[in-house]
Amino acid sequence: MRAGFVAIVGAPNVGKSTFLNEVLGFKLAITSDKPQTTRHRLLGVHNQPDLQAVFIDTPGLHQARRALNRRMVDIALAALKDVDAVLFMVEASAKGLAQGKDVAQILAQGSKPVVLALNKIDLLRDKSALLPLLERASAWGDWAACVPVSALSGDGAELVLKELMALLPQGEPLFPEDVITDLSERFLVGELIREKVFRLTGQEVPYSTAVTVDQFLEPENDSRPVAISATIHVERDSQKGIVIGKRGAMIKRIGSEARQDMETLLGHAVFLDLFVRVEPKWSRSDKGLGKLGY
């Protein structure tokens, strides 16, 4: 039996959270086609008979200027300190390799063993492009292995687990078998709302959005829904208008899609009440971050 911690790191939007969800077989981390969707350190436990891999999903490493982005990068770098191995995700494209090279320098300077996963290989129309990409990424550092994967289809995920397993210490499981995460349901439902804002709105709105869960009431009578009320915080009136939408159409859609995901997560009917509030410049100061849970 082997058991240990694995940090999943890489540039933004390379598929780190998608990979975690695929391995767990459970939607723990929210994902979107926009960079910087993940803002926290997310712990997810994968169990198989001979292995417990405790994954730490992290925000993407990038050049950060805003207070929020600096906090996110700090979280990702801090995660590297406490793990037994690193899963370094790189997107299998010219752009992905350009971004990955910066992250590789950070990892090559560190002392943790690294498995590099070249992700999104399903998008490569010309399969002969894969080998040169793999060769270039291999040359960046002394990686324990380089594995082509598709987090979306699950291709290669088993091989990644096998390579990671070899890097983890022998020992008993660190968490009981029924523990999937250390995150609360309350946190996860807030994330589901944030995911819908990331997926359904554009421009700068997602990056100015934070969600707080103000109430999470489990019913005394099991036939009644869980009552959740939450606030979507944005930074400007114009953004509030976008999140609410024409005659409330957008907030309705955000609420309805988030509620369906919450019901899957909780295995219970949910009554969701959403509010939208302007909190000017919250993402630009430590005080604003603290107020909204970052």
Residues that bind ligand GDP (CB under 6 A): 12-18, 31-33, 37-38, 60, 119-120, 122-123, 150-152
- Residue 114 CB, nearest approach to ligand GDP (Å): 16
- Nearest residue (CB) to Mg ion, 16 versus 112: 16
CB of 49 to ligand GDP, least distance (A): 27
Kind and range of the H or E run holding 210: strand 210-217
Decide which of ligand GDP, Mg ion, none touches 209; Cβ closer than 5 to 8 Å per partner kind.
none
Q: Rounded to whole angstroms, how far apart are CA atoms 280 and 287?
A: 12
Supply the minimum distance, in Å, between the C-beta of residue 153 and ligand GDP.
Answer: 7
Q: Number of residues interacting with Mg ion: please give it, by CB under 5 A.
A: 3
Could you tell me the two tokens for 214? 């103000």
- How open is the CA angle 5-111-136, to the nearest 5 degrees? 95
- Total Cβ atoms within 10 A of residue 105: 11
CB 249, min distance to ligand GDP, A: 23
Quick one: 59 or 288, whose CB is closer to ligand GDP?
A: 59
What gap in Å lies between CA 269 and CA 11, rounded to an integer? 37
Look at residue 288 and give the partner it binds from Mg ion, ligand GDP, none, a contact being a CB closer than 5 to 8 Å depending on partner kind: none
Pick 17 or 93: Cβ nearer Mg ion: 17
Applying CB under 5 A, does 38 fall inside the site for Mg ion? yes
Q: Which residue is nearest to ligand GDP (CB)?
A: 15
Distance from the first to the final alpha carbon of the chain? 36
Rounded Cα–Cα distance for residues 108 and 171 (Å): 27
Q: Which does 18 bind (CB under 5 to 8 A by kind): ligand GDP, Mg ion, none?
A: ligand GDP
Q: Closer CB to ligand GDP, residue 147 or residue 226?
A: 147
Q: Considering beta carbons, is residue 35 or 225 the nearer one to ligand GDP? A: 35
Least separation in angstroms between CB 101 and ligand GDP: 16
The site string for Mg ion over 171-210 (x = CB under 5 A, - otherwise) reads ----------------------------------------
Rounded CA-CA distance 288/276 in Å is 16
To the nearest whole angstrom, how small is the minimum distance from the Cβ of residue 35 to Mg ion? 9
Q: Residue 76 contacts by C-beta under 8 Å, 6 or more apart in sequence?
A: 9, 58, 59, 60, 61
Residue 152 partner contact from Mg ion, ligand GDP, none using kind-dependent CB cut-offs of 5 to 8 Å: ligand GDP
262 — alpha (psi -120 to 50), left (phi > 0) or beta?
alpha
Distance CA 208, CA 219 (A): 33
How many residues can be counted in the chain?
294
Going edge to edge, which strands form the sheet with 210-217? 210-217, 226-234, 270-278
What is the rounded CA–CA span in Å between residue 43 and residue 154? 20
Span near Mg ion by CB under 5 A; candidates 10-18, 113-121, 153-161, 226-234: 10-18
Judged by the rule CB under 5 A, the positions of this chain that interact with Mg ion are 16-17, 38
